[in-house]
Structures are given as structure tokens and as C-alpha cells.
A and B are shown apart, each in its own frame.
Chain A
Amino acid sequence: MILEMTATALISLGGPTTAGASDAARFVACQAGESRRRLQASYALGLQSHELFAELLGVAEGANTPGWDGYGAEAVTAATYRNAFRFIEALPLGTRAPSISAEPDGQIAFEWYVSPHRTLSVSISPEGDLHYSALLGPNKAFGTEVFLGEMPKSVLELVGRVHAV
């Protein structure tokens, strides 16, 4: 099916930013990004990005004043919101949709969850750092990756491991 072939090609391109130097490379990257956004919006490939963007907006609005959690939390800033938006855009098509929440330090967290002992949480900071932590049965994994517009392989691998039976 053409749609599937196109999607596969776009998945391999990763996120919306591509480090091409020429005008042609930039044009291709731009077109790929636009096509990718249209495909995500179609719901046809599993990643319900409409709902994710709406969920992100709701979370950010609910945490836009200091102390929003009753314990002195920091507000979610515009920079964090922008980075979280780009993070959703960078999710490869077909990725299971995470749930979204705000953390007391003002970062936005994306969670992939199977059970309390099989879960991955990825926070995005205003500076664009991705702080992740996973519980995989008796094992733990955590660390930091810089978000440059594409999903780091280490994070994608953890998404897969959380959902692996």
C-alpha cells in the first residue's frame, strides 16, 4: 500500500529536523516533515497525535502558575512547552502513544506504561534535555540525552523494552 510505503520511508527519516546543507536537502526535509505531520493527523498509523497535542496543551495550562501542585511546584514555561511539542512531532509513526503530565520542577513528562514495575518516563526540560527513567521488572535504567529534534535511539529502545512481553 502506498500509504504504508510512504510512512515507512518517513519513519526512517526520523524527526522533522534533518541536517542537510543544500537547498534541495532542506526542501526534501521540509516536505518530509509536512507529509509526516499529515500522516500523523490521519490517525491511520497508530500514533494519535491529535489527542497528544490536546493533552499537552491541557497539561501545560494546568501547570502554568507557580505552586500549581499545592507544594510549591514551578510553572511550565513556554520553552518547555515548545520542546514537548517538538518531542511529540519527533515520535516515529507507529509508536505507542504516551501519556503526558507536568512535574513539580516545571518539566513535562511522557510516560509509557504497562505496570508499576514496567514503565518508562521521559521528561523534557526547557533547555531541551531528555531525562529518562525506566523500571523493567527488577532492572532499572536511567540517564539523559540531548533532544535535537529526533528521538534518541536509547529512548526508543526503552519504549520497545517496556512493551516487550
Chain B
Amino acid sequence: MNGQGQLPPISLNELLARFVTVAQWVRSDKTLRQDAFIPPKDLNLSVTRHGQLSEAQIWQIGQTVAYTISEKRSAKLFGRADVTVADVAKALLRTEPAPLLNNPQHAHITGWPLDKPAQKSIAQQLAAMAVFVPT
């Protein structure tokens, strides 16, 4: 499908990428901090579905994210945090498609609790399950 046209429904074994654009989100041992998964105020955490994308296409989307930031500050793409949709479900959250014009594979991790400590706890669990893939 190469990111074009109608995407298949989200399946549990699908991989999701959270692009890492902040150095502090990754520890020196290459594990991920919870910060990478703390939801924004609207409680829609942006991820990109791997789907049928090639590695090169995934990184291209990541570079677009980094480029968006670089208009505001010096930014770099450090890598990505990969989690499965099943990991997200284990944390009692949902993965919903949220295609964008420049990223049809874009999705949201939703269903976050409203209180910050509970959000942090879930973000810690997701970070513990995630795999960091450096650029």
C-alpha cells in the first residue's frame, strides 16, 4: 500500500512509531523515558503506523516531524520508539487512525485517564515495553 489510498483496519500485532525528537526522552542505555509517551493536553498521542511502509518511508515521515520543529528551534530526529497495538491495549488505551495530509499512516493513542499521575503510570508502562530504534 506504501502509505497511499485506503489503509487496512488496525490490528493488534501492528507496530506504531513514536518519533523521538528530544534527546532527554532516551536514556544513555538506549531505553525510553516515560516522557516520550506523556499525552498532550488533548489526550491524543501521535504515532505513525508502520503498516506496509518501508524503513526508508518511516524515517522520511520522522524527518518531516523533525523539520516541523526545526522551524521553531534547532531539532534533530534521534530515532523512534516502537510499540505494538497490543502493548497499547494492555495499557487499556486505544489506537485510532487519524490520517494527515502529509502522513496517511498517522494515528492517535487515545483513552487516557484525566489525572496526571495515572497518565504518567501508563506512559511508564508503554516506555518499558517500547523498543528504541536509533536513526
Evaluate contact between B24 and A71: CB separation under 8 angstroms: no
- Measured between alpha carbons, how far is A135 from B75 in the docked complex, in Å? 31
Evaluate contact between A104 and B116: CB separation under 8 angstroms: no
Contact A103-B69, Cβ < 8 Å, known A123-B116, A132-B120, A144-B117? no
Instruction: Report A99 CB to chain B, min CB distance, Å.
Output: 7
Question: Residue-by-residue, is B14-39 near A (CB-CB < 8 Å gives 1, otherwise 0)?
Answer: 00000101101101000111110011
- Measured between alpha carbons, how far is A100 from B46 in the docked complex, in Å? 23
A64: nearest chain-B partner, CB-CB: B73
- Measured between alpha carbons, how far is A100 from B27 in the docked complex, in Å? 11
- Measured between alpha carbons, how far is A115 from B117 in the docked complex, in Å? 20
Evaluate contact between B38 and A142: CB separation under 8 angstroms: no
Evaluate contact between B33 and A105: CB separation under 8 angstroms: no
Evaluate contact between B120 and A133: CB separation under 8 angstroms: yes
- Measured between alpha carbons, how far is A103 from B72 in the docked complex, in Å? 17
The interface on chain B, measured as residues whose beta carbon lies within 8 A of the other chain's beta carbons, has a size of 36
Evaluate contact between A103 and B35: CB separation under 8 angstroms: yes
Q: Contacts of B39 on A, CB cut-off 8 Å?
A: 104
Q: Contacts of A142 on B, CB cut-off 8 Å?
A: 117-118, 120-121
Evaluate contact between B24 and A102: CB separation under 8 angstroms: yes
Instruction: Report A154 CB to chain B, min CB distance, Å.
Output: 12
- Measured between alpha carbons, how far is A101 from B37 in the docked complex, in Å? 13
Chain B contact residues, CB within 8 Å of chain A: 19, 21-22, 24-25, 27, 31-35, 38-42, 45-46, 65-66, 68-69, 72-73, 75, 115-118, 120-121, 123-125, 127-128
Given contacts A67-B72, A102-B24, A134-B124, 19 further A-B contacts (CB under 8 A): A62-B22, A71-B40, A99-B27, A101-B24, A104-B35, A104-B38, A104-B40, A105-B40, A109-B33, A109-B34, A111-B33, A119-B34, A119-B124, A121-B33, A132-B120, A133-B120, A135-B128, A142-B120, A144-B115
